Structure 1
Amino acid sequence: MEFYFPTEFGEQLAFVSAVITALIGLVVMFAPGLTLRFCGLQPREGMAEGFAAARSHGGMLFGFAAGALLLAQPMVYLAFGAALAMSVFGRVLSVMSDGGSSLRGILLLVVAAVLASLPIAYVFGLT
């Protein structure tokens, strides 16, 4: 089995977006305490549910990104980009409704928007 790396520039950008998301997912899955502190969250003492939720979210990010990398199909990249775009929408709602307009929140919003836009731009031929 050969390692597939795309030859088209647009698909390379979508591929890189999936790689970065997979790496973020691995960090969230294997270092939930560090991730939660970075996001300004802290689970209560003796309660493992916060760590379990973070690990689960990291596993979902990694799994979806790995699926996009392994299948390397436009519709999979579209679903991947759409899922990331919905997380961007959630962050925008947070900025507008919850007062989540801290520097960290805006930075994470921009990163998520860039990661979402790359696969979507590839699918629609914008790159």
Structure 2
Amino acid sequence: MEFYIPTETGEFLAFCAAIVTSLLGLIALFAPGTVLKLAGLQTKETSREGLAFVRSSGGFYAGLAIVALMMAQSWIYMAIGGGFTLAAFGRILSLMSDGSFSLKNLLVLAVQAVLAGLPLGYAFGFI
């Protein structure tokens, strides 16, 4: 199996979104404490379930993105875009109802929107 790097602009942008998703997932998988600190969270010394949750979530992101990179199919890019779309929707709900309106949350929302838009734009033929 040969590794495929796309040359078409739209597919390359979706490919880049998958690379970023895999890197974020791998960071969460191998450095969950750092991810929790960046998110402003911490675990209790007696309970490490938070680390397990972050690791498993990171593994899911990395796994999905790595499959997208290996298979280069628009429906897998659509899955990444759909996941980030719902993540961004959840963040918008939190901004509106939880009082979590901050610059950091707005920046993360912007990143999620871009990581949703690039693969979905390619999958639906907009870019």
Does residue 122 of structure 2 align to residue 119 of structure 1? Answer: no
Does residue 83 of structure 2 align to residue 83 of structure 1? Answer: yes
Structure 2: unaligned runs, 5 residues or longer: none
Question: Partner of 2:109 in structure 1?
Answer: 109
Question: Partner of 1:64 in structure 2?
Answer: 64
**Which structure 1 residue ranges, 4+ long, deviate > 6 Å from structure 2?**
none
Identity between Structure 1 and Structure 2 (%): 51
Question: Partner of 2:7 in structure 1?
Answer: 7
CA distance in 1, matches of 2:67, 2:101: 32
- Measure how far apart 1:2 and its partner are: 2.2
- Encode CA deviations 1:86-120: one digit per residue, 9 max, x unaligned: 11111111101111111111111110110110000
TM-score by length of 1: 0.96
The amino acid across from 1:35 in the alignment is V
The amino acid across from 1:21 in the alignment is T
CA distance in 2, matches of 1:83, 1:40: 23
CA distance in 2, matches of 1:32, 1:92: 24
TM-score by length of 2: 0.96
Question: Partner of 1:99 in structure 2?
Answer: 99
Superposition RMSD in Å: 0.9
The amino acid across from 2:27 in the alignment is V
The amino acid across from 1:4 in the alignment is Y
Structure 2 residue matching 1:101: 3-state secondary structure: coil
- Measure how far apart 1:52 and its partner are: 0.3
CA distance in 2, matches of 1:31, 1:56: 12
CA distance in 1, matches of 2:75, 2:34: 33
